[in-house]
Amino acid sequence: MKNWTITRRKFLKTSALTAGATALGTFPSFGKEMKKALRFGVVTDTHYADREPQGKRYYRESKTKLQECVGLMNEQNVDFLIHLGDFKDQAKDPQEQQTIHYLQALEKVFAQFKGKRFHVLGNHDMDSISKSQFQGNIKNSGIPKEKTYYSFDHKHWHFVVLDANFTSEGKAYDHGNYDWTDANIPQEQLDWLQKDLSKTKFPVIVFCHQLLQEEGNYTVKNAAAVRAVLEASGKVQAVFQGHIHKEKHAEIQGIHYSTFLAVVDGEGKENNSYAIVEPQQEGIRITGYRKASHQVLERGK
């Protein structure tokens, strides 16, 4: 696989809708090809709950922030919209049904997107409910509800969604029965990943809530094993992640690992964050909105 490089540019903090036009105008090469190219939306870490702010997390505001994101994605007519996990949160004194209500309320907003939509499971998505309860109250377009990791094709690209919400013993996260620093991808899922990648003829983008590029509390414990599978395929172009609430980038063996900012952090619409991604054969363009950076992942010659 050829090497890639990254260029990064902070984006103007104008209104989201006007920012879209400004951002797309930054790259003249988009031009007339914009409608033909694959373009999808990315948003992460909304942590929605009807509770008072804690630190820099403004839980209630995530609902209106997501509405803004969905509105922009509809206006831009992106091919699909994916959420990278920690979709909802819980009350200070959590109750199962109350948490489900938060989930349903935010999914109702997410469902206003007019195209295909997808979820990646984050650790907070099972803080007071089970995976089956989460899956039963959301929609992943064209994917059976019981599938927490899955793949799909769109416009000659292959997309893989991973679920790292398992303990070291292989137990699924369930009603907060876990240490969030103990995130793992079980062997069964690794075997599935290897087979899935071997079958596709398309370039691949992977989505995972927790990090795969380093060691530490925010990283999948068996990340090295996961990376080995990705690298062996020779097809993976990038891995997009959330979880750490900040932008971060690493390049390992020709694969880009990028994380996105959290919606929940900061008061007011100016502290929103989401992006449009346009993968192409020569590189991946990321158009950031609000606080999100503008990035170009360029493939080496």
Dihedral pair phi/psi, residue 102, rounded to 5°: -60, -45
How far is the CA of 190 from the CAs of 48, 147, 156, 212, 222, in angstroms? 31, 15, 23, 13, 10
Q: Which amino acid is at 226?
A: V
- Residue whose structure tokens are 């295909």: 116
Buried b (16+ CB within 10 A) or exposed e, 168-198: eeeebbbeeebebebbbbbeebbebbeebbe
Judge whether 124 and 89 are in contact, CB under 8 Å: yes
SS3 88: strand
Beta bridge partners of 252: 255
Distance in angstroms (rounded) separating the CA atoms of residues 176 and 5: 39
| pLDDT under 50: residue ranges of the chain | 1-35, 301
- Residue whose structure tokens are 């990064």: 8
Judge whether 104 and 48 are in contact, CB under 8 Å: no
Q: How far apart are the first and last CA of the chain?
A: 11
Q: What is the pLDDT of residues 65-88, one digit of tens each?
A: 999 999 999 999 999 999 999 999
pLDDT given at position 240: 99
Beta bridge partners of 114: none
pLDDT given at position 72: 99
Domain annotation for the chain: domains and CATH numbers: 4-299 (3.60.21.10)
Q: Where are the alpha helices (DSSP H) in the chain?
A: 16-25, 62-76, 96-110, 131-136, 187-199, 223-233
Contacts of 270 (CB under 8 A, 6+ apart): 13, 290, 291
pLDDT given at position 24: 34
Distance in angstroms (rounded) separating the CA atoms of residues 253 and 234: 10
Q: What is the pLDDT of residues 234-278, one digit of tens each?
A: 999 999 999 999 999 999 999 999 999 999 999 999 999 999 999
pLDDT given at position 139: 98
